[in-house]
Structure 1
């Protein structure tokens, strides 16, 4: 059975040094930059690794895979908006569009609301007797 490495509680000086480096990062304005490789952020990462808060001090860059997926999704959405606009012009309801486009009804309603496309609705109520 392998032993789990226990994190040692940092000394007062180490905690003060970490807080000083955190303040430097905030002062530099890099609080929302996850992949910053500047000297200040690197020093903070190394200090955090030294104290046992991180497993590695290497700041990894994001892979291109997520950017590519985001671009593909945006392109598909643009195509779907054009299809929704064309089908709305034909007088189809959102349920009929979802059946035709193989997308969910809520997705079609969301696109129509975002791009201000008016969708046809079925008349509700009682049918006439005659």
Structure 2
């Protein structure tokens, strides 16, 4: 699948404009393409109880599930000025779960990296499958 990175970036900037970030004043927007060709977007949503804020990538995964599921193929994340951002550790884990190790994430140098590069040796569903197999042998 050819990724239209400029379209994803433009959509991420639009999503960022909808962010609810009154406490940090750090709006974030994301846009991703799904394996069936859909384009989904999300933004961060803060809360007065700071730890309850939702990263834009959390909203993206929720939009993916609500929109019928699928696998994330590529994503762009931007800050309030439209500059590229890298997902935090928590979000990298979410992206690994819903896009897999080959999912692409745009970088500031106009290239992209895989989620596996962002989260090497990631814990995922395969680890749970291995544990279940070991338990079944006991």
TM range (shorter): under 0.3
Q: Report which of the two structures shows the higher radius of gyration computed on alpha carbons.
A: 1
Q: Which has the higher strand share?
A: 2
Structure with the bigger percentage of helix? 1
TM-score w.r.t. length of structure 1: 0.23
Q: Which has the higher contact order (CA 8 A, sep 6+)?
A: 2
Q: TM-score, normalised by structure 2?
A: 0.22
